[in-house]
Amino acid sequence: MSSPKQFSILLVDDDEVDRMTVKRAFRKVRFPVQLTEASNGEEALAIIQTKTKPLIDNLSTKHSNVGLDSTTFDLALLDYRLPDIDGLSLIARIKALNFNVPLIVLTGQGDEEIAVEIMKAGAADYLSKAKIEPSILVKAIDSAIRIHQAEEAVKLANKRLRASNELLFLKNQELEKQQAHIKTQNIKLQESYKLKSEFLATMSHELRTPMNAIMGFSQLLLRQYPDPLSSQQENLIQRILNNSKNLLDMINEMLDFSKIEAGKLDYNPQPFNLNYLIATTVEELKSLAIQKEINLTAEINLTEHFIIQDSNLLKRSLINLISNGIKFTDKGTVKLQAWELDANQIAIAIEDTGIGIATEDLSKIFQAFRQVDQSFTRQHSGTGLGLAITDSLVKIMGGTISVESRLNHGSIFTIQIPRRKDVRLQNSSV
């Protein structure tokens, strides 16, 4: 067990007999004390000044508080009546030195009435010399030291709290600055986003007219009327027509995308025959599949053929998914299947036996302008907008799209749409 702490006490009293009484009291109760004695106020002040060292308050160097090292004494016992100075003035001078230890004032006969003043001046307690009992003295010392320690702990905690509050305040200010910065950046971004969308919309729109003219004239020439074309001419014009068609598809994709971004794509639900829509769409894309010698099939298992949806949006979604299936498949099949999940949910899956998509790429492919192969030497043309558009269209229809794929084996894109979108959701944003 460790030895009990020895208390260091400064005893200030001009009367040697009284000092003896105090010492005897300590001895009697075996109070572990190391006493320093002073017989008048000046001596006491000199001891306080010489025995204590300057203390730099390192918590806040800004207001470096040069005081006295309070660890030298645990407590001071002061006689109220000293020959050179009265008790109140002594307390005031001790306090002025920042001597931060509890003070107990020993009062004589008839001094009791100034007890209030003593306490006001900053003493921790007072004891009448006439009634000094060892146990009372020790108890008073013990509780004064304890209270002082508790007060010091509170002060320290408060100081730390203030320091962390200050830090928090600064951090908050910094955060507010960053927030303001992000806000302005956001506004700028929104502006340039809007400009970009407007630019895309205008450009795509402006490009469509000449593209349609080019295609129209190419088709006219291919009729070979009234004059026939040489086979080289025919081949070249066919290439112009094919390339124009590809370009027009891309322009249309960009136009769709900018419309979706601007929230300007209308949702027009009408009753229509889903069976018929699927069959005609697949038929329209048959020539693409035939060119690549791919087997394009449709398997429709619907008990009720009519649905109330935006047929235009659904058709565009199917065209995107089927043409992707054909584009990314070199041999094998692209198979469409449609079935009812329940009374109000339709599923349409487009399965291909193509190049497939690596698992790590699956999350990216629905993002605009994202392609698994982003290189300039990529084999397949495209804007990287098709799936982003399809995803948005399906959402507008109140549905979802999902994909399963295995690299080099093929992919299945499945859309689920309600047979009839909840009327309340019709005008909600995408």
Give residues in contact with ligand ADP (CB under 6 A).
324-325, 328, 352, 354-357, 365, 371-373, 382-388, 411
Q: Least distance in Å: CB of 256 to ligand ADP? A: 12
Closer Cβ to ligand ADP, 176 or 373, answer by number: 373
Task: Please give the helix or strand (H or E) that residue 171 lies within, else none.
Answer: helix 134-222
**Comparison of 132 and 248: residue with beta carbon closer to ligand ADP:** 248
Structural contact between residues 255 and 204, judged by C-beta atoms closer than 8 angstroms: yes
CB-based burial label for 314 (10 Å; 0-12, 13-18, 19+)? buried
Nearest alpha-carbon partner for 236 in 249, 211, 261, 218: 218
Q: Nearest CA to 214 among 252, 251, 240?
A: 240
Name the residue number minimizing CB distance to ligand ADP: 382
Of the pair 40, 333, the CB lying nearest ligand ADP is at 333
Residue indicated by tokens 């891309």? 250
- DSSP per position, 21-41: HHHHHHHHTT--EEEEEESSH
In the complex, what is the shortest distance from the CB of residue 285 to ligand ADP, in angstroms, rounded to a whole number?
A: 13
In terms of DSSP bridges, do strands 400-406 and 67-68 run parallel, antiparallel, or are they unpaired? unpaired
Give least dist CB 412 to ligand ADP, A: 9
Residue 411 C-beta: closest distance to ligand ADP, Å: 4
Q: From the CB of 209, what's the least distance to ligand ADP, in Å?
A: 23
Q: Which uninterrupted H or E stretch holds 107?
A: strand 103-107
Query: DSSP readout, 320-362?
Result: HHHHHHHHT-SSSEEEEEEEEEETTEEEEEEEE-SS---GGGT
In the complex with ligand ADP, the residue whose CB is nearer, 173 or 363, is 363
Cβ 278 to ligand ADP shortest distance, Å:
18
Say how many CA atoms lie within 13 Å of 251 toward its Cβ: 17
Of 201 and 250, the one with the shorter C-beta distance to ligand ADP is 250
Q: Sign (positive/negative) of CA torsion 320, 321, 327, 328?
A: positive
Rounded to a whole number of angstroms, the minimum distance from the CB of residue 300 to ligand ADP is 20
Of 128 and 383, which has the nearer Cβ to ligand ADP?
Answer: 383
Least distance to ligand ADP from the beta carbon of 334, Å? 8
How many C-beta atoms surround the C-beta of residue 271 within 10 A?
Answer: 10
Joined tokens for residue 132: 């000094």
Is 100 or 411 the residue whose CB approaches ligand ADP more closely? 411
| b (16+ CB within 10 A) / e for 162-171 | eeeeeeeeee
Shortest distance in whole angstroms from residue 321 CB to ligand ADP: 7
Q: Which is nearest to 69 in space by CA: 89, 49, 94?
A: 49
Q: Which is nearer to ligand ADP, 166 or 373 (CB)?
A: 373
**Complex with ligand ADP: residue 52 or 197, whichever CB lies closer:** 197
